[in-house]
Amino acid sequence: PAFRRFQRGYYLGYLPALAADWLQGPYLYKLYQHYRFLEGQIAILYVCGFASSVVFGLVSSSLVDRLGRKKSCVLFSLTYSICCLAKLSRDYLVLAVGRVLGGLSTALLFSAFEAWYIHEHVERYDFPTEWIAVTFSQTAFWNNVIAVGAGGTADFFAEWLGLGPVAPFMVSIPLLVLSGVFAVKNWDENYGKKRAFSKTCGDGLKCLLSDRRILLLGTIQALFESVIYIFIFLWTPVLDPHGAPLGIVFSSFMAASMLGSSLYRLAISKRYHLQPV
């Protein structure tokens, strides 16, 4: 029962943050198009976000450990809310700054929350370490469900209510505030080991170059991710001229992704024994 209560506390802080993130997926390109920007200008805005994720992703673990995991989760809520508010502006520079803040927020979203949970699980509550996988497996399931629902929700506010492509970004803000306030009121602070950033990067680079398998895996992952990012950029301008409901299409993508994850788990189960080699 104590573990279940702890889990619920984590979900109530983390799942609204994931929902806010997914809500912004379907109408980002459409919003920039609505503001009369050219495809090349929109591409630069996308690159600002992706480059920001790369840069802040390098330092996010060190930042989170030094600042504190709880404070980092609250910082995520703040920066992502500002990122959403920036979408109200038609000024190109403001939108670019918003994309940079979005990159920082993404880096925090996928580092601070999990780091906070693992420390609390192991250090403060001393639960069995194998239970961590249970929590993260359930989180992955609910993340998929939320992603599917986010597309329909975004479509409802943008199209059905006629509020336009900026509406899903505004709907994200209360969810971000909820996540931040819940963390402030219910979570305890914890910190990681303070390591020099140069040493952390040096160790990572040494590991990458010393093991051919890690280098190969990283290369394959990078190539696959590049295809995904090209797809993310292009699917809206390809489908939108045909009158496709962008939110519903997004939900379909997420449902297909969830189906793929389910098929993978089924394939490597004891019943089929299809192990990756």
Which CATH number covers residue 11? Answer: 1.20.1250.20
Q: What share of the chain is helix, strand, coil (3-state, %, to 5)?
A: 80, 0, 20
Q: Which domain holds residue 43?
A: 1-267
Does a structural domain hold residue 274? no
Does a structural domain hold residue 273? no
DSSP per-residue codes, 188-218: PP-------HHHHHHHHHHHHHH-HHHHHHH
Give the mean pLDDT of 112-135: 94
Our count of domains for the chain comes to: 1
Could you report the per-residue pLDDT of 59-108, keeping only the tens digit for each? 888 889 889 999 999 999 999 999 999 999 999 999 999 999 999 999 99
Q: How many CA atoms lie within 13 A of 45 on its CB side?
A: 27
Give the mean pLDDT of 121-139: 93
Mean of the per-residue pLDDT values of the chain: 93
Give the mean pLDDT of 214-241: 94
- Return the pLDDT at 277: 65
DSSP per-residue codes, 77-109: HHHHHHHHHHTT---HHHHHHHHHHHHHHHHHH
- Return the pLDDT at 108: 95
SS3 (DSSP) at 159: helix
- Return the pLDDT at 200: 77
Please give the single-letter amino acid code of residue 80: Y
Could you report the per-residue pLDDT of 237-270, keeping only the tens digit for each? 999 999 999 999 999 999 999 999 888 888 888 8
Checking if the pLDDT of 271 tops 90, the result is: no
8 Å CB contact between 74 and 184: yes
Classify residue 223 as exposed, middle or buried by CB count within 10 Å of its CB (0-12, 13-18, 19+).
exposed
